Structure formats: structure tokens, C-alpha cells
């Protein structure tokens, strides 16, 4: 069940990445965020209610980080709320996601899943920088990072897990995807930070993973 949710997280990240890049209407993206936010809230409720061990509860709890993010984005986009609250929430989520990454690596001996969580931590941290701290020059870089991670951390892993092949995925391939993502996004971020500012810009709408 949680794997189906991961697959649709890829879809909403894809839409939100396009929203960051100004290719999707904010209210249109907001509706889809509500769909996925509802899904990613209902799934952990069910998993926790039927859990038999503390570790099962621990694993399911992390899904709420996604669900509440998308509900926040959806409501914020549809109502036109300022994005700073979402940005500060993203800072908290970034810390928690890093914790889940460490737990998966150290406690569950699952490096592959841990690396996914650490990538999501970076993504939420970028949202914090753009939406809460107002470093709007990184909006384009945030959009591309969101688009890339929609496939490398959600869509592809989710589909592979559904096929029952996640255990056979070599860990080096995930590391390679991280390196490739950085090779694309870091130059975009550096160019954006070094570019002269002609006039103040605004982030059009709150977007998050």
C-alpha cells in the first residue's frame, strides 16, 4: 500500500517541479496536491492502526511527512496563502527526513531506502531556503531538483518495489543517480546565485515535496 503512495508522490513532485518552473497553474497543481496529500495521510493511518510492532509504526509515521506537506501545498495554492509557513514546516521536515534516513541505514540496515530519505531531506531543505528564507534565485534550481527527484526517488523506486525487485537494486546505482542529479542542479543553482538581480522577484506559489 505504501508503495502505491510512493508512486503517486512521484507524480505530485513532477507537477510541483513544473509549478516551480512556472509551467503549471498554481490552483491546478493545488487540486492534485490535495489528492495525493489525502492518500498519503490515509495510508499511514491504516498502517499504524494495523501495525504489530514498534518498527512498523516507525516506518509508517514517516509517510505523514509527505501527506501533510501536500495538503499544506494544496490548501495554500487554492487559497493563495503566503508560502513562508510552508517553508518553515519544510525545515522541520528536512530534519525529520534526515533522521529517518539514518534510522533506515543504522537500524534497518537498508542503505538504499536511507539514501532516498536523505535525498528528500535535501529537497525539503531547499524548499525551506526558497520559501522561508526568501532566496528566490534558487527557484529554478529547486524546480529542476524536484523534477529529477520525482523520478529518481519516487516513480522509478516505487515501480521497482511494485515489481518486487527493490532488493536486487545495486546501491551504487542510487549513489550514481545522486551524483548525476547534483551534476545537473548544482550548476543551475550557481548560475542563478551569480546572476545580477534586475528587479525583485516573487515565488508564485508554495510548492513542496
pLDDT digits (tens, 9 = 90+) for 102-119: 999 999 999 999 999 999
Residue 132 φ/ψ region, left for φ over 0, alpha for ψ in the -120 to 50 degree band, beta for the rest: alpha
Q: What span, in angstroms and rounded, lies between the C-alpha atoms of 147 and 15? A: 8
Number of Cβ atoms within 10 Å of the Cβ of 197? 8
Least confident of 68-82, 137-151, 187-201: 187-201
Residue 199 above 50 pLDDT?
Answer: no
For the whole model, what pTM was predicted?
0.92
Predicted pLDDT of residue 197: 61
Scanning the chain, the segments in alpha helix (DSSP H) are 2-20, 26-49, 54-61, 63-79, 84-106, 111-127, 139-149, 156-162, 171-194
pLDDT tens per residue across span 175-196: 999 999 999 999 999 999 988 7
- 2-194 folds as 1.25.40
Query: Predicted confidence band at 1 (pLDDT cuts at 50, 70, 90)?
Result: low
Residue 206 above 60 pLDDT?
Answer: no
Amino acid at each position: 500500500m505504501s508503495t502505491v503512495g510512493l508512486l503517486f508522490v512521484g507524480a505530485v513532485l513532477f507537477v510541483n517541479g513544473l509549478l516551480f518552473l512556472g509551467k503549471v497553474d498554481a490552483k491546478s497543481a493545488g487540486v492534485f496536491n490535495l489528492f495525493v496529500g489525502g492518500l498519503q495521510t490515509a495510508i499511514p493511518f491504516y498502517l499504524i492502526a494495523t501495525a504489530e510492532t514498534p518498527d512498523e509504526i516507525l516506518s509508517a509515521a514517516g509517510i505523514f511527512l509527505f501527506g501533510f506537506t501536500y495538503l499544506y501545498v494544496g490548501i495554500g495554492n487554492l487559497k493563495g496563502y503566503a508560502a513562508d509557513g510552508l517553508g518553515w514546516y519544510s525545515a522541520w521536515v528536512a530534519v525529520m527526513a534526515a533522521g529517518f534516513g539514518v534510522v533506515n541505514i543504522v537500524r534497518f540496515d537498508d542503505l538504499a531506502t536511507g539514501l532516498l530519505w536523505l535525498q528528500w531531506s535535501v529537497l525539503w531543505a531547499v524548499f525551506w531556503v526558497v520559501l522561508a528564507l526568501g532566496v528566490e534565485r534558487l527557484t529554478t534550481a529547486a524546480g529542476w531538483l524536484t523534477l529529477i527527484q520525482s523520478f529518481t526517488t519516487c516513480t522509478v523506486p516505487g515501480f521497482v518495489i511494485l515489481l518486487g525487485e527493490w532488493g536486487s537494486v545495486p546501491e551504487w546505482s542510487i549513489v550514481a543517480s545522486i551524483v548525476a542529479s547534483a551534476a545537473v542542479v548544482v550548476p543551475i543553482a550557481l548560475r542563478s546565485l551569480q546572476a545580477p538581480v534586475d528587479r525583485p522577484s516573487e515565488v508564485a506559489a508554495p510548492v513542496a515535496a
